[in-house]
Amino acid sequence: MTESNDDPEADGRGLPDGPGPPPWASPTAPSGFTGAGLAGPAVPPPPAPPRPTAPRPLPKRSKLPIVAAVVLLLVIAGIVAVIAKGGKDDDPRVTSRSPEATVEAFSEAIATGDADTFCQLLSDSQRENLSTAFGGRCIDSVGMILALASSMDAVHLEVTGSTIDGDRATVAVTSDGHAGEIPLVKEHGRWVIDTAPDSLVSGSVSSGDDGADGS
């Protein structure tokens, strides 16, 4: 009986036909695949972010509200300026005063120590006389006069009548029971006092009868 050769190395069975990787090596990847494909499925790249769109232009607003607000501020500023001036020459409440109203306003200015109104209601010549006598502007010179009025408890002039002759006027008044007249002149469209203010403060209003009584 012939013995069979069970040695695989003897008959060449079980051995590879030629050189190559051992059986335990990784299988060869099919054609068209990369090494990364062997590790797992391919991950697609993230989508590109959307392009930013230009902002929509805002609707144009009307400029009328802004213009109206500016006009309102100018009107308010003008009113405040008139009030702050205390009634300057261009104040219609001053220019429209009658001779009697002028004397009453002047008497009130003496009583309250309002130097601004006091000077406004004097004629140009009387303001110049004050500036010459005391030096400086009228409003800076009337302090002594108003202080005198305060010490005398402020003489009050009561208007009893008036006469107008063109640009001249005379207002009849009484002061502490004494009758007198105050001359006025119309300058720059308004009536102003045209007599020495210290005589009004002291109560020595002009009167022909007073001169006769004093002789």
Question: Over the stretch 98-114, which tens digit does the pLDDT of each residue have?
Answer: 999 999 998 888 888 88
Would you say 119 and 131 are in contact if contact means Cβ atoms under 8 Å apart?
no
CATH code of 111's domain: 3.10.450.50
Q: CA-CA distance, 89 to 99, in Å (whole number)?
A: 15
90, part of any domain:
no
Residue 23 has a pLDDT of 55
Would you give the DSSP letter of residue 32? T
Extract the residue ranges of the chain whose pLDDT is less than 50: 33, 36-38, 70-95, 207-215
**Those residues with Cβ within 8 angstroms of residue 74's Cβ, 6 or more apart along the chain or in another chain:** none
> Is 209 a member of any domain?
no
pTM over 0.85: no
pLDDT of residue 113: 84
**Within a domain: 13:** no
In a domain, 144, yes or no: yes
CA of 119: how far to CAs of 111, 196, 204, in Å? 14, 12, 19
Q: How many domains does the chain have?
A: 1
Domain assignment present for residue 65? The answer is no
Q: Is residue 28 one of the residues assigned to a domain?
A: no
Q: Tell me, yes or no, whether 12 lies in a domain.
A: no
What is the predicted pLDDT for the residue at 77? 41
Q: Which domain holds residue 138?
A: 96-203
